[in-house]
Amino acid sequence: MLSRTLYTTLLYATSPLIFSLLLKTKKGKPPVGDRWKEFVGIAPELKQPQQPIWIHAVSVGEVIAATPIINALQQHYPEQPLLLTTTTSTGAERVAALTGNIEHRYFPADYPCAVKQFIKRMQPALCLIMETELWPNMLTICKDQDIPTIVVNARLSAKSQQKYQRFQSLFSTPLQKISHILCQDENDQRRFKSLGLSQAQLSVTGTVKFDIQFSDAIINSGLALRQQLGQQRPVVIASSTHKGEDEIVLSAFEQVKQQHPNAVLILVPRHPERFDDVATLCLSKFPQTQRRSLTKAIDDLSNCDIYLGDSMGEMPILLAASDICFMGGSLIGDKVGGHNLLEPAALSKACITGPSYFNFADVTAQLLDCDGVAVVNDELELANKINTLISQPEMAVTMGRQAKSVVEKNKGALSKIMQTLIYYIDQTLQQANIK
């Protein structure tokens, strides 16, 4: 049994390892630099002394998911400052691109002294945790200091449920201290309930990721890139690929090129530290490889075979330029469990995934039900499916339309989420004013 006391002792004992991982400079990622002190709670004071709404989003994906909520909060509470915390520097970079009354700090490591120091300096009114980033000391200290904690867009896979159950003695009490959990679906709610949470703590709102909106600027940038690549060329994107998967995708694309010599592949590795290695791999197979980071909006890319998406935060633009999307993290066994198909679906793209998509089983199941996604098991099946969709463009258009229908049918989570958040925020701010 791992108690919270033993857990905290282990945290302190392994501090050198933890901080070496947090502060390690990785190729392709911005360095933390002298902001390392924020990980121990020594964060610069906020520009506005008013109690902020604290939103914790671990990295880039969670910041993207939080963006519709951030926009809605800014509309409803235009004078209320927002404090966004991330664990990664790439997440911090994404926050920097947001506009409005927002400040970023790094999330303190789960040492009691660090969390207390952070809260003392930031004075948050309440804390919104995106998805499932639950830390025992942080949850306990927030409760002790009367700071409501609400988990938003929460999901809990069967695998994660087993992990929490394995350490039930550590998490049982902290989980009881959460004010509310807004679950993505009934399965998530059931799994959270199995961990001892009460029904009063749980609601099902759907996932805010269905409430996707792409600006005209993003769509226009995608259309402009498509024009550069060649308006009449078939464009395939392999999104969020992992190590070992790029080789599969490139080999499949070699087969595609045999049938469709004018096809172009946009390849987007999941992790920026791999950009250079993947570029070398692409060049070894396709000399006509171009990197987005090295091209300009006026460059002619009509002879390009591979367009490497080695930039951050531009996935919607690259998707908008494409016809067909293969979603990575799904063809390398059960290491990753796939990635979210909702962005390509919202852009009416024909979607393809490998067999390992357990992290997004509900969304993928809905897409399968309406033939909005195809599942392939290996390199050959991937090549064959892409060739079929290129040869039969009407099939690709139909798949994309059906994929988008899933997104449209499930919209509305944002309004449900905001109803609960407004209740807690209004209550908290009113109590703060009374004090």
Catalytic residues, by residue number, are 62
Place of tokens 């990622």: 29
In three-state form (DSSP H/G/I as H, E/B as E, the rest C), the secondary structure along 57-96 is CCCHHHHHHHHHHHHHHHHHCCCCCEEEEECCHHHHHHHH
Backbone angles phi, psi at 16, to 5 degrees: -55, -40
